[in-house]
């Protein structure tokens, strides 16, 4: 007998439909899996066999052929265990099959028959929705994540026997539900607040401007001045994730297995801090089959590069395309994938190799120049705000009262972002001032005569590039938005 089960395979951060065809024929008992399975899929024959027997079912007698279609699509991971088991039960006439066409099935099996969680459940549930399925059977641990998808029933199952009983309508399992409005309510990390940082008011103001306009930031200062402390508190003043942003961010984190047990959605803006020894593949993404790297994991959030000059120059240069386009394309022998990578870059560095200010450093001018030269001009051109972080004197630290809280700053940032959302409502490509195109700059950043004259002088005396001129206009537009002003002054 032939049975067909709908499953899915991850390709990057998307899921594609896979039809699991199982045929039990008359021959010596064996199991053959075809359709470009990887090692984990090929090993499923042993896991499924033990799971069937330990769940009270019989292993099919005869030659069992399992085809994963389409045949030209590489199938990876253990998520095919449960659909293969269901197919073997249906093909050997050990279970009723009338409900099978209406459900997508996914899950890894333990030898005991327990259903284990798998990666990428959100994109798989979205695929089930697009395929018009009534529902999807998922591991119980993954149920809340899948339940953020509307329009399908998410059926959580604990073991193989429970899944079979549900499909035979012997038991009723209530679909898992989540309250999206509650998940995406007011979310902030109270453990990291700007009020914890004493002094550095000008730096806090610059970070507020950066958050309001989505501008990239470079913090320059000696060790111990609070660069990392300030950067870690930046997510707390960013606007909350929208539903679309949360879904997109969750898809990326789910694909690489970063979702916590029972977690439904990524509700905080990501903050990624790769070590300076990170490789190109670690930062951009890689592996034999392309997978998201740190810059994609920071999508809709912040990528923090501490000790920026310590990163290999080749690694830093790979950031230029994502910073410009908000996405990264990875080519490998197994294929080419494009991942979203729209993030705020926050970098920190010492002013000299020994960490002291140039006028106090014992390093030679040549050593300082070589140190600063590790960061290319084109990369620096893509960072809108270069901020000096000075040392705060002890008397100010000990006697200074706490400053504004993150929530107070955040409200101003949200108000400025709302102005930008209205301004760019007709453009899908521009979400904040930092993303403005040349055409948008001409419309939204018009200067009066006095301001134009000042910019001409700056271009002549400082030697600003055309890109730097555009950056200044974008930052000026953000400052005006924070002040609720229509025109730049």
Q: Could you tell me the fold of the domain covering 194-239+270-404? A: Rossmann fold (3.40.50)
**387 beta partners:** 219
Inter-residue long-range contacts of 258-264, CB under 8 Å, 24+ positions, other chains counted: 258/297, 259/145, 261/117, 261/141, 262/141, 262/144, 263/144, 263/145, 264/144, 264/145, 264/147, 264/148, 264/178, 264/183
DSSP 14: E
User: What are the residue ranges of CATH 3.40.50.300 in the chain?
Assistant: 194-239+270-404
Q: How far apart are CA 275 and CA 13, in angstroms?
A: 24
CATH 3.40.50.300, domain 2-167, yes or no: no
Q: How far apart are CA 324 and CA 429, in angstroms?
A: 12
Tokens 């026997």 belong to residue: 161
C-beta of residue 375 within 8 angstroms of C-beta of residue 348: no
Per-residue pLDDT of the chain (489 residues; tens, 9 = 90+): 899 999 999 999 999 999 999 999 988 889 999 999 999 899 999 999 999 999 999 999 999 999 999 999 989 899 999 999 999 999 999 999 999 999 999 999 999 999 999 999 999 999 999 999 999 999 999 999 999 999 999 999 999 999 999 999 999 999 999 998 888 875 655 578 999 888 889 999 999 999 999 999 999 999 999 999 999 999 999 999 999 999 999 999 999 999 998 899 999 999 999 999 999 989 998 777 788 999 999 999 999 999 999 999 999 999 999 999 999 998 877 678 899 999 999 999 999 999 999 999 999 999 999 999 999 999 999 999 999 999 887 766 666 667 899 999 999 999 999 999 999 998 888 889 999 998 999 999 998 888 889 888 888 888 887 888 899 999 999 999 999 999 887
Structure tokens at 88: 């073997």
Q: pTM (2 decimals)?
A: 0.92
* Residue 465 φ then ψ, to 5°: -80, 170
User: What are the residue ranges of CATH 3.30.230.10 in the chain?
Assistant: 2-167
Question: Tell me, what's the pLDDT at 427?
Answer: 86
Structure tokens at 248: 């997109």
Q: How long, in residues, is the chain?
A: 489
For residue 303, the surrounding DSSP H or E stretch is strand 302-305
């Amino acid at each position: 007998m032939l049975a067909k089960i709908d499953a899915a395979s991850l390709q990057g951060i998307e899921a594609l439909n896979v039809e699991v065809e199982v045929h039990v024929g008359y021959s010596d008992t064996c199991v053959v899996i075809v359709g470009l399975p990887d090692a984990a899929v090929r090993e499923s024959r042993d896991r499924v066999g033990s799971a069937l027997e330990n769940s009270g079912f019989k292993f099919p007698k005869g030659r069992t052929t399992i085809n994963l279609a389409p045949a030209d699509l590489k199938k990876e991971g253990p998520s095919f265990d449960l659909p293969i088991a269901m197919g073997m039960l249906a093909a050997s006439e050990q279970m009723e099959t009338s409900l099978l066409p209406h459900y997508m099935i996914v899950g890894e099996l333990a030898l005991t028959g327990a259903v284990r969680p798998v990666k990428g459940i959100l994109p798989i549930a979205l695929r089930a929705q697009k395929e018009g399925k009534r529902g999807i059977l998922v591991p119980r641990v993954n149920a809340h994540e899948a339940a953020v998808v509307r329009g399908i029933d998410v059926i959580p199952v604990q073991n193989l026997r429970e899944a079979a009983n549900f499909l035979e309508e012997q038991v009723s399992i209530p679909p898992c539900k989540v309250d999206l409005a509650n998940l995406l309510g007011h979310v902030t990390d109270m453990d990291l607040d700007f009020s914890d940082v004493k002094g550095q008011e000008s730096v806090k103001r610059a970070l507020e401007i950066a958050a309001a306009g989505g501008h990239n930031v470079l913090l320059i200062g000696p060790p111990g001045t609070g660069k990392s402390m300030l950067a870690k508190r930046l997510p707390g003043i960013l606007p909350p994730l929208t539903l679309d942003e949360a879904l997109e961010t969750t898809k990326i984190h789910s694909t690489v297995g970063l979702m916590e047990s029972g977690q439904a959605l990524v509700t905080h803006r990501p903050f990624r801090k790769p070590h300076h020894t990170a490789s190109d593949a670690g930062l951009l993404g890689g592996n034999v089959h392309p997978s998201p790297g740190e810059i994609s994991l920071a999508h809709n959030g912040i990528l923090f590069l501490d000790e920026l000059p310590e990163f290999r120059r080749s690694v830093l240069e790979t950031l230029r395309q994502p910073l410009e386009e908000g996405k990264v394309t990875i080519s490998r022998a197994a294929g080419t994938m494009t991942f979203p990578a729209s993030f705020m870059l926050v970098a920190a560095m010492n002013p000299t190799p020994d960490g002291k200010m140039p006028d106090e450093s014992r390093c030679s001018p040549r050593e300082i120049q070589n140190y600063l030269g590790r960061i290319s001009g084109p990369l620096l051109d893509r960072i809108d705000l270069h901020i000096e972080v000075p040392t705060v004197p002890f008397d100010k630290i000990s006697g200074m009262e706490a400053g504004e809280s993150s929530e107070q700053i955040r409200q101003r940032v949200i108000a400025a972002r709302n102005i930008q959302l209205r301004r760019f409502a007709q453009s899908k490509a521009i979400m904040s001032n930092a993303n403005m195109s040349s055409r948008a700059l001409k419309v939204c950043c018009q200067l009066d005569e006095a301001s134009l004259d000042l910019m001409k002088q700056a271009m002549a005396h400082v030697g600003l590039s055309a890109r730097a001129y555009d950056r200044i206009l974008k930052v000026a537009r953000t400052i005006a938005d924070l002040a609720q002003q229509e025109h730049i002054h």
